[in-house]
A = this chain, B = another copy of it.
Amino acid sequence: MKAMGDSLVTPDLTARTDLARLIDHTLLRASTTKADVDRLCGDALEYNFWSVCLPPLYVRQAAQRLRGSETRVCAVVGFPLGQSKTEAKLAEAESAIDDGARELDMVADIGALRSGDNEAFYVDISTVADLCQRSNTILKVILECCYLTDEEKIRGARLAERAGANFVKTSTGFGPGGATPADVVLLRKALTKKTGVKAAGGISTLGAALQMLEAGADRIGTSSGVKIMEEALSKSG
């Protein structure tokens, strides 16, 4: 398993666990049922994914299903628009942690960022980050990069890091664009080593996942984790 901040070159494809431990196995679709969540968790256990990433409604179910395993539950907060009020994001975060989430993927207020209101952008994040620090929870802050200029991405990433984010994440997967290697490079350069980069949005093949890791991503968010692992295993076989 790679620790955050380690040099992340192409993982060893023969080491099934290596790659799986970099993947947040993700299910963020309005049509999700409890049966889907159960399957997602079953896949996560089979492949030993780092986490399952889910909306608040399904956190408790997933945490119960994954109890005793190495796979964490990651909950999205303010997802995908990031236009809940800070109090709502905080309450959602508290509830998800109570339900068993050990990581949160919170959507930042990029409207504030784009308007130059750095203070509002920062406080929205730091409010949730303070809770996360008190409760030993990893906080990933999503910048919907497809809507941002490079200057906004860099400023947003640095403000998020200063506010206490453990990761900056490229995309929700609900915007018109997802993760790009160029954005991963940009965010990686903007951040210090203590803060990770999560690439997510449209990563549906092994090749795309490896491209993100080579660009400097420390974590991959994808709903195609099983397909990616099967590709990796067939190549290593």
Contact = CB atoms under 8 A, between A and B. Distances in A.
B84 A55 contact: yes
B81 A111 contact: no
A56 B84 contact: yes
A84 B84 CA distance: 12
A110 B33 CA distance: 8
A55 B30 contact: no
Contacts of A58: 83
A142 B33 CA distance: 17
A216 B29 CA distance: 29
A233 interface: no
Given A88-B92, A95-B88, A55 B83 contact: yes
A82 interface: yes
Interface in A158-176: 172, 174-175
Contacts of A174: 30, 80, 174
Contacts of A35: 115
A79 to B, nearest CB: 7
Interface in A90-133: 91-92, 95, 107, 109-111, 114-115
Nearest to A54: B83
A172 B30 contact: yes
Contact of A88 (B80, B91, B172): B91
5 contacts: A30-B144, A33-B111, A57-B84, A58-B83, A88-B88
Which 7 A-B residue pairings sit nearest by Cβ, starting from the closest? A55-B83, A31-B147, A57-B83, A33-B111, A30-B144, A33-B115, A30-B81
